Structure 1
Amino acid sequence: MLKKMHDLGLRAEHCYIAGMASIGISFVSWMLSNRFEHAGVDRADRWGIFVGEWAPTFFAMGNGLRTYER
């Protein structure tokens, strides 16, 4: 799988950037949900956690690609 991702042009740096971006997007989605949805803090927390769960996946993929690239 890592070979296929690498052959498609995906590099570890791309995954690390996506992981950092997902942390920022998690915060922004929580803030926007909290401000514009009238469902309360519970829904905002769910949005933030949902998007925040992407970061470890991207970092793990980046680590896998980094070891493959070496």
Structure 2
Amino acid sequence: MYTAGFASIGISVASWLASKNLEPAGIDRADRWGIFVGQWAPTFFALGLALQMDETHATRSEEIEADRPIVSERTRTPAGL
């Protein structure tokens, strides 16, 4: 996701330059294209952080579960005994 975020920054600049130089619509349209594609970068970075947090959280949960002793119903004693 981080790679996609950095790539979208480059694609934003490239789309702005291409629109500015190749389309007769003018600088306003080029600006809109650059801003449109440029907004992808924060989305990709946020998704990268979310995935990183999810992977970190899952790993910690598995470690915690692995440290707990396995208790079955047969080994439990009634509260009064």
* Aligned-partner Cα distance in 2 for 1:26–1:39: 18
Deviation at 1:68, TM superposition (A): 1.0
More helix by share: 1
- Identify the residue that residue 27 of structure 1 maps to in structure 2: 13
Of 46, 54, 67, the match for 1:60: 46
Can you give the 5+ residue segments of structure 2 that lack an aligned partner in the other structure?
57-81
Larger radius of gyration: 2
Please, what is the CA RMSD of the aligned residues?
0.4
- Identify the residue that residue 45 of structure 1 maps to in structure 2: 31
Q: Normalization by structure 1: what TM-score?
A: 0.78
The ranges of structure 1 where at least 4 consecutive aligned residues each deviate by more than 2 angstroms after the TM superposition are none
CA deviation string 1:13-36 (max 9, x = no partner): xx1000000000000000000000
Q: Higher relative contact order at CA 8 Å, sep ≥6: structure 1 or structure 2?
A: 1
1:69 is the counterpart of 2:55: yes
Deviation at 1:69, TM superposition (A): 1.2
Q: Alignment identity in percent?
A: 64
Q: How many residues align?
A: 56
